[in-house]
Chain A
């Protein structure tokens, strides 16, 4: 199978500091891959090189088989790479459908475009369908999402990514700050995303999450990729060894 995303020998420096060193990595359709590593291992920098926040100094990026170089985050999004950061980029004072369509509102035109008003009926219907396709059920879509729980908001962010035809979803610590039942639901949502064919890159510290949901994983240490494994081939103690640098496949 062709990889959806291919990273070849990517290096990113900040002044004298090498944040990501010579990393090659593939992500395939229909899988959840975990990106592991201690603080400062280079996970975030690598992700930001993929999502267009940073530009790599060396190396290449291929998306859907074609060379890709995203100068800005919006370019990556237009290609179908959605990054869901910890703060979710939601406006808590707006309702679910307003958030799903934030910045891309659907409008009705009257008098030859002189008057353009929001097509709220259409947006609400689409939002409801998007949530239903992920089997997310909210009692009320027209109230500010500040009344939703952290997990429900996470679900809104995921639904937004899916609605706008995300081909690859990158999630940064999605279960942080969530209660245990909510964590389970977010993980369930990640599985559902994978089953619908959208691969997910999961950045996390939480090893139980990795074993619960990921198919494969990659561990970084001090900017380098130290291992890449299938979930079935590894264990928590072994992963900890990789994360602290005691084990390293490249040495």
Chain B
């Protein structure tokens, strides 16, 4: 160490170097497997979907790619906050119902503000504020109980998910919140670009062309606003996790809570922030779903919880804490969406999706563990 570099002892250099190389290779492969798997799946569906439909349907079309992007936004948003929480060695089981609560709250707020005579964009802003305030409050309570009262995150967020479920159903009066301002749907469905296939100068920016019939059938919406909005949040999250002190400390508490405490990291405050962040991204997911369907739903979020955790795990975030990336979670969410869409287009019974996704999750964890084994994360005396 001190003088002679990494060598373990005389004559050990060769072996150490080979182990080092193997480790690096395993590391590289285990990092990249999700990308490779995604690429492989896309190729698979690009080949098989036309065959199964006798050439009438293709997988990699503009419309289908946009559908996949729209489909992953809620799962991805739930997964983003979860990525931070799990890297910090926690878990947030409440995000599904928090998304539902946010959807109901934002629908109620949008309706109330619009009915009070305010313009549409004000009611959309009110919807966003209501969604964020409600969800952040849940996150704050989760975080405080976990950090200050030292109750395990699993228990706290399990409990709060039931509480939030009850509140969401009560506030929605167990029905879909409708009667939202007309036009709110545009915010949730319009796109940056429109393209009409086969039309000269068929590209439109920022406005939906007034077309119908055959032209409407040939029109694709490219980059719908919820996708753009989510992409911005993804970029922000990646920056925060990778480039800021907050992100660095999140990795630190996941890697060694003890080291974080002793080096003076404000651990409690950090943990509370993580749950506020996680609830907030769920809140944004709820807000976007309200815009998209022009309705608030108290049951929209819960089915997405497990998919979002699956996306995080497939993306390489370690449930043991301390490892993972935002881009990994994006890949994980894409894998789930591509699998689901592709299998539907192959006319495979929907139940098979669950079997395939479940298998992929378990494989992902196996790869994660084999990496730990090979680099010796759990060897005795490693100090964690």
Contact = CB atoms under 8 A, between A and B. Distances in A.
Say whether A associates with B: yes
Interface of A: 73-74, 77, 85, 87-94, 98-99, 102-105, 107, 116-118, 134-139, 146-153, 155, 177, 179, 181-182, 185-186, 188-189, 192
Contacts of B383: 87-88, 90, 92, 150, 153
Contact of A91 (B264, B322, B377): B322
B245 A185 contact: no
A17 B256 CA distance: 33
Contacts of A137: 2-5
A92 B251 CA distance: 10
Contacts of B207: none
Contacts of B116: none
A98 B248 contact: yes
Which of B4, B23, B243, B323 neighbours the largest number of chain A CB atoms within 10 Å of its CB?
B243
A103 B263 contact: yes
A179 B381 CA distance: 11
Given A88-B383, A94-B251, A94-B255, A103 B3 contact: no
Interface string B5-21: 11011000000000010
B262 A138 contact: no
Contacts of B239: 117
B1 A182 contact: yes
Contacts of A77: 264
Interface in B325-384: 375-377, 380-384
Contact of B3 (A102, A135, A152): A135
Given A139-B5, A181-B9, A185-B3, A90 B264 contact: no
B285 interface: no
Interface residues of B, number: 38
Interface string B32-43: 000000000000
A213 B33 CA distance: 49
B254 interface: yes
Contacts of B2: 134-137, 155, 185-186, 188-189, 192
B370 to A, nearest CB: 15
Contacts of A139: 5-6
Contacts of B381: 150, 177
Task: Give 10 closest A-B pairs by Cβ, nearest first.
Answer: A103-B263, A93-B255, A91-B255, A93-B322, A177-B381, A89-B262, A185-B2, A89-B259, A102-B263, A117-B243
B262 A73 contact: yes
B265 A103 contact: yes
B115 interface: no
Contacts of A136: 1-2
16 contacts: A90-B259, A92-B255, A92-B384, A93-B254, A94-B251, A98-B252, A99-B259, A102-B252, A103-B260, A103-B263, A104-B264, A117-B239, A137-B2, A146-B382, A179-B9, A186-B2
Which of B1, B6, B243, B248 neighbours the largest number of chain A CB atoms within 10 Å of its CB?
B1
Contacts of A147: 20, 23, 375-376
Given A90-B383, A91-B322, 8 more contacts: A90-B259, A91-B251, A98-B251, A103-B263, A118-B244, A137-B4, A146-B382, A152-B1
Nearest to A152: B1
Contacts of B260: 91, 102-103
A147 B371 CA distance: 12
Interface in B254-285: 254-256, 258-260, 262-265
Contacts of B244: 107, 116-118
Contacts of A192: 2
Interface in B281-295: none
A134 B3 CA distance: 10
Contacts of B9: 179, 181
Nearest to B17: A139
A136 B2 CA distance: 4
Contacts of B1: 136, 149, 151-152, 155, 182, 185-186
Contact of A105 (B23, B245, B375): B245
A224 B9 CA distance: 41
Contact of B263 (A89, A134, A150, A155): A89
Given A103-B260, A118-B243, A118-B248, A181 B8 contact: yes
A151 to B, nearest CB: 5
A81 to B, nearest CB: 13
Nearest to B5: A137
Given A103-B265, A118-B243, A138 B5 contact: yes
Contacts of B376: 146-147
Nearest to A154: B1
A103 B264 contact: yes
Interface in B235-250: 239, 243-245, 248-249
Contacts of A179: 8-9
Contact of B256 (A89, A107, A148): A89
B245 A149 contact: no
A104 B252 CA distance: 12
Interface in B18-77: 20, 23
